Amino acid sequence: MSQPAFWLSKSKFPLNFLRFFLPRKAARASSERASAAMADSSAPTRVMMAVNESSLKGYPHPSISCRAAFDWTLSKLIRSNTGGFHLLFLHVQVPDEDGFDDMDSIYASPEDFHQMKQRDKIRGLHLLEYFVNQCHQLGIKCEAWIRHGDPKEVICSEVKRVHPDLLVVGSRGLGPFQRVFVGTVSEFCVKHAECPVITIKRKANEAPQDPVDD
């Protein structure tokens, strides 16, 4: 179809002016798209945060790096605009290979597995409670949930499912040699997550003696 002799830019002319030239259906579609754009611009920014437990203190204490990422989000991103953000907290629980260490018998029943799952769920909820309580105190809208599996894979999968505007993850700041043997969730997310990613490195004075710990 050939282009008309004159061309109107919707960014330079009001919708009422466009309706004079455009067919009724096209004008209605233009109006609906403009309304949707206005609604999107007023919607809060949805920020997903991947949080995990401390490897030193265990549940319900958050790791140093994810707590640093949360503090950075509050002080540098949200600031006083508490109504302009919606935080999405994701905690990924890794299958416990040593889950039977605290049991008296090496023989596991279905009830044993059920108890293990319930125990892990409660621990995860207590961890998420730390972040949710702070959000409620500050008046920030939030959601929190738990998934199971490989953290880096699950985080990227949840990003694809939830479609946040931004993903914030903490980083231990490991060197190249350490990353080869340990691997980093933040580095994987930067490469594979289908949304913008911000990694926040923990402060040097908060790093434990073994940098792999968090």
- Give me the CATH number covering residue 196: 3.40.50.620
Examine residue 148 and state whether it is found in any structural domain, yes or no: yes
- Interval 69-118: pLDDT, tens: 999 999 999 999 999 999 999 999 987 644 444 444 455 566 766 666 77
Examine residue 51 and state whether it is found in any structural domain, yes or no: yes
Nearest of 43, 135, 41 to residue 89 by alpha carbon:
135
Q: How high is the pLDDT of residue 129?
A: 95
> 141 with 44: CB under 8 angstroms?
yes
The CA-atom distances, in angstroms, between 95 and each of 17, 51, 53, 100, 176 are 61, 16, 14, 12, 27
Domain, as residue range, for 162? 45-95+109-201
Q: How high is the pLDDT of residue 37?
A: 44
Average pLDDT, the chain: 76
Which sign, positive or negative, has the C-alpha torsion 126, 127, 132, 134?
positive
Examine residue 209 and state whether it is found in any structural domain, yes or no: no
Show the low-confidence residues of the chain (pLDDT under 70): 1-41, 96-110, 112-116, 173-183, 204, 206-214
Q: Who contacts 35 (Cβ-Cβ below 8 Å, separation ≥6)?
A: none
Distance in angstroms (rounded) separating the CA atoms of residues 66 and 127: 11
Examine residue 169 and state whether it is found in any structural domain, yes or no: yes
What domain count does the chain have? Answer: 1
